[in-house]
């Protein structure tokens, strides 16, 4: 997204350093618990992973932040298990979406494919679709031409 010129702030929870399931450390720009004004952001992208999704679902502040984006009709993207957060908040009610294989029963209108868009929400089922997911986010925010240019730049 940054390569496409989108202003991005990565936010870690609970801290600036987030450890992936495979023990990869990711350093975020900010701690989400320190952020207060979400009105300046056009959207939110939620990564998957069972542990992170479980912790988000159990955290009222995280749910309020994500719900804020949904209620404002702002852009929301969720990959892998992250659509479960949107299900819990009712943001996928009557919406087409995709999710990690085996979790489709949680969706009202499950769809197959590497990326599904319904209104302001973009979903993708697995980490293997991350590039398609990112390109679709760029397309939704900046248009098809910018997405095609980005695909050309990165060689896909």
Q: Which fold has domain 11-154?
A: Rossmann fold (3.40.50)
27-43 pLDDT, tens digit per residue, is 999 998 888 899 999 99
SS3 of 56-86: the string is: HHCCHHHHHHHHHHHHCCCEEEEECCCHHHH
What is the reported pLDDT for 33?
Answer: 83
128-147 pLDDT, tens digit per residue, is 999 999 999 999 999 999 99
103-116 pLDDT, tens digit per residue, is 999 999 999 999 99
User: Do 115 and 98 form a contact (C-beta atoms < 8 A)?
Assistant: yes
Show the tokens assigned to 21.
């399931």
Query: Looking at residues 114-125, what average pLDDT do you find?
Result: 98
User: Which residues have a Cβ under 8 Å from the Cβ of 111 and sit 6 or more positions away?
Assistant: 96, 97, 98
- Average of per-residue pLDDT values in the chain: 94
Domain segments of the chain as ranges:
11-154
């Amino acid at each position: 997204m940054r390569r496409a010129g989108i202003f991005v702030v990565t936010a870690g929870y609970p801290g600036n350093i987030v450890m992936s399931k495979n023990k990869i450390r990711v350093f975020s720009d900010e701690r989400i618990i320190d952020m207060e004004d979400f009105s300046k952001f056009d959207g939110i992208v939620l990564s998957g992973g069972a542990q992170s999704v479980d912790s988000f679902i159990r955290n009222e502040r995280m749910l309020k932040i994500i719900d804020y984006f949904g209620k404002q009709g702002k852009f929301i993207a969720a990959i892998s298990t992250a659509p479960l957060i949107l299900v819990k908040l009712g943001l996928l009610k009557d919406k087409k979406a995709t999710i990690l294989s085996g979790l489709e029963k949680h969706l009202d209108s499950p769809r197959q494919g590497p990326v599904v868009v319904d209104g302001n929400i973009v979903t993708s089922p697995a980490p293997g679709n991350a590039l398609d997911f990112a390109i679709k986010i760029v397309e939704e925010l900046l248009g098809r031409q910018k997405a095609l240019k980005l695909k050309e730049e990165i060689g896909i």
